[in-house]
Amino acid sequence: MAYRRPRAIKPWGFVEAEGEVCRLVHVLAEIRGEIEIGCLRWMGVMLPEETAG
């Protein structure tokens, strides 16, 4: 049987929210990526997919 840490060790109900936190981090990473691409465009940097064709 696999060892499981007691829920009390993780604060703020993190065990319950873990899936949501992972999803939120993924969404934020996607948004940040889009913002970075937008900033590169704004600075006049040609992106590989734009120079290709």
Specify the pLDDT at position 28: 77
Query: Per-domain residue ranges for the chain?
Result: 14-51
Q: What is the pTM of this model?
A: 0.34
Specify the pLDDT at position 36: 73
What is the distance of C-alpha 51 from the center of its chain? 27
In this prediction, the residues of the chain whose per-residue pLDDT falls under 70 are: 1-19, 21-22, 35, 37-40, 42-53
